[in-house]
Amino acid sequence: MSGSKYIYNNEAFGISAMASVLKHMENTSYSKTMLILPFVTHKETLDYLKLQRSDVKSIEQLIAKKANLITNFNKRFLNLLPISLNSLHILHEMKVILIKDQQIKFNKSSQFNESDIKLGARVKDVVKASKKIANLLQKDESELYLQLRVLL
């Protein structure tokens, strides 16, 4: 990953983005959590999902409407894997998420506040898109990885 992209897509952004999405999920797996940053760090995807009028309820629907948004998803996934893992670890250390039996759950008693004005415009865009991203990740993870063409 080039240095400038790493500075732009870093753990500070990662923890804000992941927490915003995880807040809308009852509980989830590590596998699904690793898919969050490839969605939110891609400007075109984030710009589309943050719109109120973008009504996508599944990955299939996203592919049918905007296939170009997932053409390089595997590359994004692999490039962002270290930041995703680090962000997840930091969220756990901060007690924003709870991990039990390989399941990740947002800690509702945490002090995380995505409406904090100091987070910046980019995180505000993630907050706008977070519920849609959480809904996209409701499917079985093997299906999600197959549809998004993520190769491990």
Domain that holds residue 26: 3-147
Element (H, E) at 98: strand 97-100
Q: Is the dihedral of CA 132, 24, 26, 12 positive or negative?
A: positive
Lookup result for tokens 């790493």: 6
Judge whether 108 lies within some domain.
yes
Lookup result for tokens 């240095």: 3
Mean pLDDT of the chain: 91
pLDDT in tens, 54-90: 889 999 999 999 999 999 999 999 999 999 999 999 9
Judge whether 93 lies within some domain.
yes
For position 111, what pLDDT does the model report? Answer: 84
Lookup result for tokens 């984030």: 46
Least confident of 6-15, 49-58, 61-70: 6-15
Judge whether 136 lies within some domain.
yes
* pLDDT of 5 over the 80 cut: no
Q: What's the number of domains the chain is made of? A: 1
Judge whether 152 lies within some domain.
no
pTM of the model: 0.91
Rounded to the nearest 10 degrees, how much is the dihedral formed by the CA atoms of 28, 39, 31, 12? -80
Judge whether 20 lies within some domain.
yes
Judge whether 137 lies within some domain.
yes
